[in-house]
Every structure is written in structure tokens, then in C-alpha cells.
Structure 1
């Protein structure tokens, strides 16, 4: 708990520095690139197009569980939070190597580096939220109050990514293969959550698979985005899942932060 108090104190005390470094990190990604920020959207949009073709009307013709909703409109609220989470995990894992010159400065609060990278990823996430909203409006969806809930679920995904990121970034200092391991796990992870497919595809044959899918904490985020954007269900409609998610996520966060703090004195020696 003392680690958390210290972290919160640093966040509020240096909030302007965090924001400035996050903006700088965001801009740095596209320095020297001819198309600049356009590349940020190419890979996600191509991914949506591929899955829409495979599972849409020209492929397997997957019928989304929400009436009067196209597969693409059902798919987007599942992919948008996953893009945010996977990018944050990849970026945070390598943050200490990327900013090793700051790690070696004794006066700099190293615990803020994962938060700076997370904030940078969140700026990208806001752009995708805007694209998602535009896509919904073009499809004829009427704005609902429940759409505001996506910021709650974005915060929930941020806490999970930050907790895991503290753990993986600390390990990555001493074991550089961690970055590749995280990338591979994320490739499998997208299929361990019903993002591209409706879970009833499997649960109708083997009900236990539904329980197994819900053990993946990110199930709560994907379901929450779709509840907010498609069905209008409030976040308290999944109380058991919500309690499980926050117990799991807070446990991961405290373990990750504690592990990071314990290894912090050795970072500068290795880097």
C-alpha cells in the first residue's frame, strides 16, 4: 500500500511532466516517416478489413448475437480495446531499455516511465475511439448515454496493462527475451477472448468453454465495450464478472508494482 501511495503522489506531483513526455513519445513514433500518423491506423484498419472479410458475408457468414447489427459494427468494439491493451503491453515491456538514460538518473522516479508510455498509448486509443464512434454513427446507430462507459472500461484495461507492464518491464531488464514472449502471448491472447467470434459458437457444444473464456480478465473489457456500444447495458449488469476482474487486476497491479520496486535499485547496473 505504501508503494501505491508513493506512486499516486508522484503522478499528481509530476502530472504536467507526464503529459509532456507522453505527447513527446507520441510524436516521436512518426518522426522521419513520410506518411506520419497515417501508419498508426493502417495496421488496425487492415486487421478489421481482413476479419470482416473472413467472418463477414463473404466468408464464414458469422451472425453477431446483437440483432440488426452488422459483423463489422459488432467486431469494432472488441478490437478497439484490444489494440490499446496489446500496444500498451508491447510498449511498456521495453520502456526501461528505451529510456535507459532516465533510469540511470538517481533523481528520476522510474516508476513513472510505464505510466508515460501508457498515456502515450491512450492518446492513440482516443483516436480509435473517435473512429469507432464515427463508424457507429455512419451505420445508423443512435448515440446512447451508455457510450460514456467505454472510458470506465478503458481505465480498467489501463490498470491491468500497467500492472502487467510493471512486471514484464522489470523482467525485461535482466531477460531481454521477455519482449518477444509478450508479443507471442498477445498473439494467442486475442483468440483466448471472444473478439472475432461469438462465444456461443463453442458454448453451445461445450458449456465449460464459456467459463474458461471468462477466466481471461480481458473478457470483461470486451464484453463491457460491447455492452456500452451495442446493447446499452450498464456496467453493473455483470457484477460477478466485475468483482472477479478487479480482484484479479488489483492483485496483478500490486504484485507487479512491488516486483518493480524491489528490482529498481539494480536497473542502472544492468542497463
Structure 2
């Protein structure tokens, strides 16, 4: 893992260049360009606001609009969802590079992660701006976003390495991941408050590692709770994430010699 991090640092300029190129490819040929990348998430937030705030009168936090409670939970999901969906087909979309013997293809999954990060940084800025518009004061707790952002990056990077390698040999992986993401969206406490569920099943719900990230972002912006107050959740999350990350990288490396032949 340490070697992998060193390789990333040494090749950071190439990764950033390819990620910027990947980002631009998303809206080439579109009249409104990058606007469409932000339109769908914003529309989703507006719809959920009207359904849950206006329709169901949902208000998990007293004296706080539902949209302020929703956004810290759903914005990290947008990054996770976008990165994993695009990351599954990384190798097939860059098959021309995979077939080049001199190119280190193990950086390709990172290109998708960094490309999605460009958008995610803007959404985090929008999140802070919305809190300010609603009269919330800037808080030192917002700095914890950096920690939970790293958590999200590590989890999704491991999954991208894992799924992109499998997708070369099992073409149904893309569809399986799409179903997994639809299911994962609703079992994570993004739209609903975990405290309203029966207490005896809380431990089951917290087995979902993304719950830690959702709770963490809300701790930064809504509840103002430090990440060090949840040591057991942090321990479980990092054990799970590091297993996925190291397992994904190891599988990718093991299958790497066969990618060019299959593609």
C-alpha cells in the first residue's frame, strides 16, 4: 500500500492531466456542457426537498430545514455513485492505453476518481454556500470534511480497482454495480434518520460502511460532533475499507497481464 501511494505521488502530474481530459470528455458535443453534470444532482435535491419537507413534513433536526440536513448526506453519495459508475468501465474506455506495453495502466482507475473529485469539490463549496445563505455561521467543524472526504476516496478507489478488473472478464459487472448503487442509496441513512429506526437493528444498519461517511458529513455541518467520538465505527470503517482497497489493488495487479488480450 505504501508503494502504491508513492507511485501515485510520483505520477501525480500525469494523473491530473488525464483526469482533466476525462472530465472534459463528459460534456464534449453538448451545448450546455458542464451544466448537465450539476443539473441532475441539483434537480434530485429539489425533488427530495419537496417530497420529504413539503409532502411528508419530515424534519429530522428541530428548527433546521430538511434541505440542510439532506445535503451533507447526499453530496458525498453523488461523488461515490458517479465515481463507481464511471469507474467500472475504466479499462474498456481506455483500451487504447491498456494495449500500450509502456503505459502503467494501474493509474487508470485513479483517473476516474480524480475526475469526479473536480465536481465534488464544487458541490462541497455549494453545500457551504447554502448553509451560509440559510443563516448558518462558518464553523471549525467544517474542517472535518477533509477527513471524511479521504474516507470516501479510499472506499470508492478500492471498489473501482476491484470492479474495473472484474468487468474486463465479466461484462455484467456494470449492471450489477448499477443495481448495487440503487439498493445502497436507500439502505444508507441519506434520506432518513437512523435514530428513528428500531434500536435493535442500528448495528445492522451501521454495517454499511457508507453510513459512517454520511453520519460524518452531518457531524461536520449539522450536529458538530468530532470524528474521535466514534472510535469503534472508525475502526470498523477503516478495517473494511483497507481490506477492500488492498484486495482491489491486488486483484487488479494479478489480472493486469491479461487485460490487453481480453480487450
CA RMSD of aligned residues (A): 1.0
The 8 Å contact of residues 52 and 72 in structure 1, kept in 2 or not, is answered as: yes
Q: Hey, what's the Cα distance between the residues in 2 that align with 1:49 and 1:106?
A: 48
Q: Hey, what's the Cα distance between the residues in 1 that align with 2:128 and 2:43?
A: 18
Partner of 2:242: 250
TM normalised by structure 2 equals 0.97
Residue 60 (1) aligns with residue 53 (2): no
Secondary structure of the equivalent of 2:237? Answer: helix
- Displacement after TM superposition at 1:209 (Å): 2.2
Return the match for 1:78 from 70, 73, 78: 73
Residue 118 (1) aligns with residue 113 (2): yes
- Displacement after TM superposition at 1:172 (Å): 0.3
Q: Hey, what's the Cα distance between the residues in 1 that align with 2:62 and 2:219?
A: 13
Partner of 2:40: 43
Q: Hey, what's the Cα distance between the residues in 2 that align with 1:132 and 1:200?
A: 23
Q: Which runs of 4+ in 1 moved over 6 A?
A: none
Return the match for 1:222 from 177, 189, 214: 214
Q: Hey, what's the Cα distance between the residues in 2 that align with 1:177 and 1:189?
A: 18
- Displacement after TM superposition at 1:229 (Å): 0.8
- The equivalences for 1:1-271 within 5 A come to 4-56=1-53, 58-64=54-60, 66-203=61-198, 207-271=199-263
How many residues are aligned here? 263
Q: Hey, what's the Cα distance between the residues in 2 that align with 1:199 and 1:139?
A: 24
Q: Deviations over 1:46-100 (max 9, x none)?
A: 11111111110x2111121x33211010000000000000111111111000001
What are structure 1's unaligned runs of at least 5 residues? none
What are structure 2's unaligned runs of at least 5 residues? none
- Displacement after TM superposition at 1:171 (Å): 0.5
Q: Deviations over 1:26-56 (max 9, x none)?
A: 1111111001111011110111111111110
Secondary structure of the equivalent of 1:107? Answer: coil
Secondary structure of the equivalent of 2:82? Answer: helix
TM normalised by structure 1 equals 0.95
- Displacement after TM superposition at 1:8 (Å): 2.0
- Displacement after TM superposition at 1:231 (Å): 1.8
- Displacement after TM superposition at 1:9 (Å): 2.8
